[in-house]
Amino acid sequence: MILYTPLSYQEIFPEEQGTGNEIQAIEWQGRTVFVSKNNNGNYQINQLISSNPNDYLNPEFLPGRIIS
Amino acid sequence: MRMDTDENENQEEEENESNNASSLVEKIQQLGQANVPQAPDSNIHVLSIIGQVEGHLQLPPQNKTTKYEHLLPQLIAVEQNPKIEGLIILLNTVGGDVEAGLALAEMIASMSKPTTSIVLGGGHSIGAPIAVATDYSFIVPTATMTIHPVRLTGLVIGVPQTFEYLDKMQERVIQFIVDHSNIDSEQLKELMFAKGNLTRDIGTNVVGREAVEYGIIDEVGGVKEAIKKLNHMIQSSKPKLEEEGTA
């Protein structure tokens, strides 16, 4: 694989791997969303993957929404 | 007895109220507002390509990435859905996987529906072929595009063969940009191998209007211009019969 980017190798692959919040892609109401687990063990939406601009106005998919 | 039932009712009411209040508070905490207006179905769909273009290799979690396996099926869906008439690509990318980027660019270029792109912030490296892949491309005045050679880091086994491979890879990128924009390959190579412009690399950082002057991007503009152009292309791509009917 060849990366074509102005970033340096170290910026993309840092030696210290931070244990950031694990982000998973899941299916939620027929759309793909990225979620992360919050402190209470609930999943919270980080990002919506959709090409329909109206999905981004739908409160169901807004970032920060806690889904169960 | 009466007192008891009253108290119970009061308690229930209080609970209801606090439930309503807490769901409202939750909504405000999550969304920053209580209600979001609903819009009618849009005939224009949007794809945003942000951060690194992620392809064959999963990048470490601190990288913000756009995964091409998410975008490719969406492009097919946009092409197939009769209700969708146009597509806008929003780009703010630092580049990424060459083959994933080229795959996206080829997919966008081979769509039958009208497409426009807006380069916002940055459309570096592999962002350039994606930006020019659309029917008409825009760049906002403050956005930049870094044009530089494809590089390789790490252990190299078989130097001449690797060089050959890298050269071909670069040629694919150059060829795609030349085929889909108004720049010729000599000028593009000149920008790519220019010295003294970038601190740690050879190449050129072209800003907004410059990208248009070199012929890489079609026009300087933002959302308003891109939507207007797209609507115009949608109208002119509709069958002529309709036009005759209305005239």
As assigned by CATH, the class of the B44-236 domain is alpha beta
Q: Work out the average pLDDT over B117-127.
A: 94
Interface membership of A68 toward B (CB under 8 Å): no
Using CA atoms, how far apart are residues B34 and B43, in angstroms rounded to an integer?
27
Asked whether the ipTM of the predicted complex exceeds the cut of 0.85, the reply is no
Using CA atoms, how far residue B197 sits from A31, B206, B215, B245, in Å, is 43, 10, 19, 56
pLDDT of A17 over the 80 cut: no
| Residue B30: pLDDT band with limits 50, 70, 90 | low
pLDDT of B59 over the 90 cut: no
User: Is-contact B207 B220, C-beta < 8 A?
Assistant: no
* Residue B120: per-residue pLDDT: 95
Residue of B nearest to A49 (CA): B70
Q: How many other C-beta atoms are found inside a 10 Å radius of the C-beta of residue B23?
A: 11
Residues of B in contact with A14 (CB under 8 A): 60, 62
Domain-wise residue ranges, chain B? 1-38, 44-236
Express each pLDDT in B196-230 by its tens digit: 888 878 999 999 999 999 999 999 999 999 999 99
Angle at B220 between CA B214 and CA B222, to 5 degrees: 145
* pTM for this prediction: 0.80
Q: Under an 8 A CB cutoff, do A4 and B126 touch? A: yes
Kind and range of the H or E element at B67? strand B65-67
B64 or A20: which carries more pLDDT confidence? B64
Using CA atoms, how far apart are residues B71 and B76, in angstroms rounded to an integer?
9
Q: For chain A, what is the largest distance between any 2 Cα atoms, rounded to a whole number of angstroms? A: 40
Residue of A nearest to B39 (CA): A54
* Residue B180: per-residue pLDDT: 95
Question: What's at B211, amino acid-wise?
Answer: A
Express each pLDDT in B125-181 by its tens digit: 999 999 999 999 999 999 999 999 998 777 788 888 888 988 999 999 999 999 999
Q: Under an 8 A CB cutoff, do A3 and B96 touch? A: yes
pLDDT of B49 over the 50 cut: yes
Residues contacting B216, CB < 8 A, separation 6+: B128, B131, B132, B145, B147, B177, B181, B182, B183, B188, B206
B4 or B120: which carries more pLDDT confidence? B120
Of A18-22, B4-8, B21-25, least confident by mean pLDDT is B4-8
* Residue B240: per-residue pLDDT: 66
pLDDT of B32 over the 60 cut: yes
Residue of B nearest to A32 (CA): B70
Report the share of chain A in percent with pLDDT over 90: 0
* Residue B247: per-residue pLDDT: 44
Residues of A in contact with B31 (CB under 8 A): 59, 62, 64-65
Instruction: Just list the catalytic residues of B.
Output: 125, 148
